[in-house]
Amino acid sequence: MAVYITDLEIHNFRSCVSTNLELTTFTALVGLNNCGKSNCLTALQWLVRKAKLGVEDFNDPAVPVEVLGRLTGITDEDLRILEAKHRAKIEPHVRDGVLRIKREQPAPGVDTVLTVIDPETDQWVPNPAGIDNAISALFPDPIRIGAMEDAEEDASKAKTSTTIGKLLASMLAAIQERHEADLSPHLTAIVGMISAEGATRFDELGRIDESINQKISDLFPGIRIKLDFPVPVLNDLIKAGTVKVYEGDGRGRAFGSYGHGAQRAIQMAMVRHLADLKRGEAAAGGATLLLVDEPELFMHPFAIEQVREALRVLSDSDYQVVFSTHSGQMILAKDAKNALLMTKKHPAGTRARPRLVSVVEQLVEEPTHQLHQIFSLTNSSQILFADKVVLTEGATELRLFPSIFKAVTGKTLGQASLAIVSLSGVSNTRKSMDILAALGLPACAIVDLDFAFRHAANHGFIEQDDQDIVACKGILARLAQEGAITLNPENGLPTKGRTGPASKAFELLAGQADAVDYVQSLVQKLRAHSVWLWSRGAIEPHLGLSAKSEHAWLTYQVSMENDGLDIVCPDAEGVRALVNWLIEAPLATAAAH
């Protein structure tokens, strides 16, 4: 893998008062509009390509702007590709393949300064001569694909600085290498015709020179001029490239003359072609930063998937891809653990919540459980776009709760910024809530009655010798003696047997008159820990469902939409209470576990 930036610190740049980002080769920045995602992309670009910042780029004009980066993966081969003078500037500051750099601008409008850490003293080396050029030699020119409101301005700039120009330059490098020898003689011929020293210079140019020189001699004797027209080399021609867009048999039109939808489609198609060219490649030197604002804009769902995969391919070759997004389709489960959830609050400014993978590594010690836990939370990227997270194991909740929520509130889960995420097992409930709390995401859980008996004490939600559990076990023993349920002799809890599954035994327990008060007490104890316990054993008795199947769920959903929740649900009041609890409860107790 090429050299890339793993850690980024941004200070006093626009909304980034003090922002820290942990980057991989494929990093998504997720957050609401105006939370500073684009500012982070711009700061990353500024770190490796200097530019003077104006007063509008300073959060506080009296304080310097600083952007610090950790360049990782530098090898001897990477250093050997640099010119000797550039290598001499960088090599002493590289330790274990890492180079730490800082770009600073003390005040608006003044020059920037690039410094590096001396690995021997761990101090910043003030302005090493030529280090900026050395960094530029190590890192290719970044490619920034901005928001579409910037597209028209982008298309009007000098071609070497546009997104289209940079994409073309990246894609046409092979053409330059293969055909430069073929084109050079033709360019040389043109130089001879129009340059001041050309051997086959056009006669018309000579006559113009002579006429002007006669007039100069009257004003300033002893000097003369020749008109000169420099001819660009092939590299300049490629950098100045653009695209023309054709519809039907009409004439070609400039890229900038089309609407945002067409422009975005063209940009993303070029990104996909670049990915095809780079598939499987790996180059020495720094990765090219590909920074994209909302690649999903104006794309239909199928196109979004294609763009996501193209960016993924580039990140596996010699590109470091960092993008902002509002689309869950841009983030697969394997990428969710490294995505950065961006927020902005005054006066702290733009912040990134800890990465999911970092939190899991801190909170889950056992490696097998760690992988299990990551899967449990990242099997849905919904958590990246939510303000609250509901954890549940039950298939019925996952299948029907979105429709139930809409029936009660008139809003979708997304409109309420609420995500419902499947757990691979309720034994992970407490750890999942701790992880989400560490991310700054309030979380709660919906569990069946058996959770209170099998896991609640181990999670610290109730005491090991909880008297409600003891009393209920006595009732379970009576039911077993009556032949209504089967108990495991080792723990005295229901197990699968001739009387049916264990889940039915807990539903039967919940329906016993002498168990109601004990179950309600357990409900309240778990509610204090942001855990909703179904008091009838599971969700199905509350809804009036007799089966767990797609047919049963679909039939129930259609009936609810046609007839309303109060008609189809025997415990509509209890279901409404759950929905209202999810909306109104602060869920702060999850962070205090």
Q: C-alpha angle with apex 576: 574 to 577, nearest 5 degrees? A: 65
The values of phi and psi at residue 355, to 5°, are -65, 145
Rounded Cα gap, residues 358 and 405, in angstroms: 32
Give 344's strand partners: 350
Q: Confirm if 291 and 49 have CB atoms less than 8 A apart.
A: no
Nearest to 49 by CA among 275, 236, 286: 286
Are residues 132 and 122 in contact, defined by beta-carbon separation less than 8 angstroms?
no
Give the pair of three-digit tokens for residue 500: 């049916």
Q: Which amino acid is it at 552? A: A
Phi and psi, residue 302, nearest 5° = -65, -40
The one catalytic residue in 312, 399, 454, 576 is 576
Q: Please, what is the Cα angle at 40 between 37 and 44, to 5 degrees?
A: 145
Instruction: Classify residue 502 as exposed, middle or buried by CB count within 10 Å of its CB (0-12, 13-18, 19+).
Output: buried
**HEC per residue, 483-518:** CCCCECCCCCCECCECCECHHHHHHHHHCCHHHHHH
Between CA 350 and CA 258 the distance in angstroms is: 34
- Residues 358-383: b if buried by 16+ CB within 10 A, e if exposed: ebbeeebeeeeebebbbebbbebbbb
Q: Please tell me what DSSP assigns to residue 107.
A: S
- State yes or no: is 576 an active-site residue: yes
Give residues with Cβ within 8 angstroms of 286, minimum separation 6.
2, 3, 4, 48, 71, 78, 138, 139, 140
Among 369, 350, 353, 308, which Cα is nearest to 333's? Answer: 308
Q: Among all residues, which ones are annotated catalytic?
A: 576
